[in-house]
Every structure is written in C-alpha cells, then in structure tokens.
Amino acid sequence: MIEFEFTDEQILLRKAVREFMEEELRPLSAEIDREGKFPESVIRKMAIAGYLGAPVPEKYGGAGLGKIGYCILMEEIGRVDASVGTILGAHSSLGSSALLYYGTEEQKERYLVPAAKGEKIISFNLSEPGAGSDASSIQTTAVRDGDGYTISGSKMWATNGKEASTYIVFAKTAPASEHGEGITAFVVERGMKGLSLGREEEKMGIRGSSTMQVFYDGVHVPEDSVIGGEGKGFQVAMTSLDVGRISLSACSLGASERAIELAVDYSKKRVQFGRPISEQQAIQFKIAEMGMRTQLLRYITYMTAWKAEKLGTDPSKWKKEERRQLTREAAMAKCFGSETASFCVDESLQIHGGVGFVKSSEIERMYRDARISEIYEGTNEIQRMIVGRDIIRRGWV
Ligand SMILES: Cc1cc2nc3c(=O)[nH]c(=O)nc-3n(C[C@H](O)[C@H](O)[C@H](O)COP(=O)(O)OP(=O)(O)OC[C@H]3O[C@@H](n4cnc5c(N)ncnc54)[C@H](O)[C@@H]3O)c2cc1C
C-alpha cells in the first residue's frame, strides 16, 4: 500500500515559506537576474529563518526539517527564483550533505554547524576543465606531506565559489579508477595559502548564483580535513549528488507549477478571435500536458524524498540494494524534473505569445533559468545512463 500525506507541520511550513518567498524574494528576482547579483540580503534573512540548514538535524545547528521539509522549501523557492535554489542546492544538498553523511563529529561541529546556521556558505568543487560528466577523471591531486596533504589543481563551475568560506574539494590521493577509487574529499577553508579564485562565468540564467574557477596551488591541509576516509571521496560525491538530485527535482517542480499558473492567468485575460485564448482547445491541451507531467513530478519528488529520509544519514547502515534504488530514483527525479520544468516554461512562454519573449516578463527569465537543470548535478544523458544500466543490471524493482 502506498499512503502519503503531508503532516500538519509540513503544511504550515509550506505556508510560511511561500509567504517568505513572495514577500522577500519575488520583489527582487528581476533585479537579481538583471544585475547578476548574489542576493545577500535575502540569503541573510533565509539564514535567520533556518532555511540554510533546513535538512540538517537540530543538534548540528539545522532546522531538522528532514528531506520532505527540505523539498517543500526547494519547491517554494523554485516557484520564485531558481538562482536561490541553485545557491541553496550547492550549499545544503551538496556541501552540507558531504559533512552530514561522512564528516567526523569534529568536522560537523566545526563546518556543518556554522553552515547550517547560515554563518558560512559552502561550495562543492568536483568538476574541472577536463572532467565534467566523467568525474572520476579529475586531475587535482592531494599528496601526503608531513602532517597532512598538499592539494594542487584547478576546479571549474564552482557554484557559490565567490561567497564561500568552506570548500569541499575532491582530489586524487592515488591513481583514480573508472569507479573513482583513489579520490579523496577534503574540507578547505577560505584564506588558506594557495587557494584563489579565477574567472566568474557570465551565464544565460541563474544569474544570481556565482559560478567560479577555483585554483588550488599547493594548498596544505591537515590530515583531519579528509572527509569519509582516504580513497572514499567518490562515494562522498555520489551520495551528495543523490541528495542534490532530489532537491533539484523539487526546485523544478516549483518552476513547473509557476509556469502553469502564469499560463492559466494569461490565457484567461488574453482575448483573440472574440474570446479568451483559454477557451481554445489547443491552449487547453497544452495546459493539460503541463499539468499531467507536473503532477507526476510531484509524486516522484516526494516519494524519493521519503525514501531518502527512511534511509537515514549513516551510510555504514545502508543495504546495497536500497542505496542503488535511491540512486536510480534520484536520477529519474532529476532527469524527469528538469525536463518537465523546461517543457512547462517553454509551453507557458508560447501561450504568452510575443509578451513572453520580452525581458520584462517573468516567464522569459524562467525559460533561461530552467535550462541549467538538464546540465548540472550530472547531465540528463548521464542520468539516463545511471537509470538504464541499473535497470539492466538489477531488473525492474
Ligand atoms: C551553472 C553551473 C553550475 C555548476 N555548479 C557546479 C558545482 O557547484 N560543483 C561542481 O563540481 N560542478 C558544477 N557544475 C558542473 C556540472 O556538473 C557539469 O557541467 C556537468 O556535470 C557536465 O559536465 P561538462 O559541462 O564538462 O560536460 P561534458 O561532460 O563535457 O558533456 C558534454 C555533453 O556530452 C554528453 N556526454 C558526456 N559523456 C557522455 C556519455 N558517456 N554518454 C552520452 N553522453 C555523454 C553530456 O551529457 C553533454 O551533453 C556546474 C555547471 C554549471 C554550468
């Protein structure tokens, strides 16, 4: 039997987050996009509200909302501004998860607690100029050196790279295999000698989030900077990405819902051939298709979040099959979610006609913002590889 309902607390959470995002974020969204500016004032207010540590347990300074609560937050952000969804995704889903799932108690105290309270922002540095989809081919190295390691290499596409105080970086401590053995995760602090920022990318969408080159030029870190043990970094990265893909799916759900809302509103107001265009079957069919896909997305997002919650945050307790199933479903949710959002914003823009194509329209920004979700946190081609290979290996379960 499948039974699913939001708790009273989760319903109240949604109401509170929606009010917050409508009042604090929506009025600034156009400016954030136009200026390509990190929304510092909103992020500060979100930190005070506990949103920067939403899925982190209270004992580590978080709001303890669990995966479902976190997805509610991401869905509501996705309705308003994908830049903020990206900032939070890199900070909470990727950065904080690496520490929550694999960090020592000392690392949690030192790095996770201030991140959950929003006092420090995290950037997750896996990708490199020569290693995107093939993340196991990274060239950054970490060589044992006295009481620790020396990290050398360049990272690319680091979301929050400009604002971060804490960097989770992946480097080879031994020749890496196709399955990522030999890669180790480290936590590095801003201000360490040899850490510097390069170019900031000028992007077509999610322009409020920074995307940076980060250089590690002989950065010496102590031994206790290793997260999850030497050679276990690929697992740290893949677990964080599983969590990230579910919350990204929630963000795409919010964008899809907003695209429908805008399409319905506009189609009721726009009169052509003597009646509102909403009365044309061609428009109704578009809205029906957007609605069907979005409803399915709602199910897969929250079902997968619920499974992730049940699995817990101690990877040593996971059964192999449960873990593989979660990876499969997180990939499905990310892939289906991002394509649903792209479909919905495209159809909604079409329903807006020429009005949707001008800079002052919300749907124009949403159209540009949505595109990235098919690329980052693993492209959709890679998600289909994960899903296809796993179904072939383990069958349809
Ligand atoms: C705005 C932005 C923010 C990002 N934030 C972060 C971040 O915070 N941290 C981080 O580490 N990374 C981040 N990334 C990097 C992102 O995860 C990568 O861009 C992504 O994984 C794809 O890598 P790539 O761009 O090198 O593309 P490539 O790997 O070069 O792929 C190019 C094309 O080839 C396809 N392809 C590649 N291999 C295969 C295959 N085996 N089979 C079929 N098709 C294949 C891909 O799907 C894609 O269509 C970010 C990227 C962007 C653009």
Pocket test for ligand 1, best of 91, 178, 201, 376 (most atoms within 8 A of CB): 376
What pLDDT sits at residue 158?
A: 98
Rounded alpha-carbon distances, angstroms, from residue 341 to 77, 203, 248, 376: 14, 19, 11, 14
* CA atoms of 291 and 123, how far apart (whole Å): 35
**Is 14 exposed, middle or buried, given 0-12, 13-18 or 19+ CB atoms closer than 10 A?**
middle
List, in sequence order, every residue forming a beta bridge with 141; answer none if it has no partner. Answer: 152, 172
* Structural domains present in the chain: 8-121 (1.10.540.10), 123-227 (2.40.110.10), 233-394 (1.20.140.10)
Q: Return the pLDDT at 177.
A: 80
Identity of residue 54: A
Q: How many A from CA of 381 to the centre of ligand 1? A: 10
Specify the 3-state DSSP secondary structure of 331.
Answer: helix
C-alpha 127 – ligand 1 centre gap (Å): 8
Assess whether 377 carries a catalytic annotation: yes
Radius of gyration (C-alpha) of the chain in whole angstroms: 21
d(CA 157, CA 241) in angstroms, rounded, equals 15
Ligand 1 near 343 CB (within 6 A): no
pTM of the model: 0.98
Query: Per-residue confidence of the chain (397 residues) as pLDDT tens digits?
Result: 566 899 999 999 999 999 999 999 999 999 999 999 999 999 999 999 999 999 999 999 999 999 999 999 999 999 999 999 999 999 999 999 999 999 999 999 999 999 999 999 999 999 999 999 999 999 999 999 999 999 999 999 999 999 999 999 999 999 878 788 999 999 999 999 999 999 999 999 999 999 999 999 999 999 999 999 999 999 999 999 999 999 999 999 999 999 999 999 999 999 999 999 999 999 999 999 999 999 999 999 999 999 999 999 999 999 999 999 999 999 999 999 999 999 999 999 999 999 999 999 999 999 999 999 999 999 999 999 999 999 999 999 9
> Which atom of ligand 1 is the closest one to the Cα of 90?
8
Tokens of 324: 């593989």
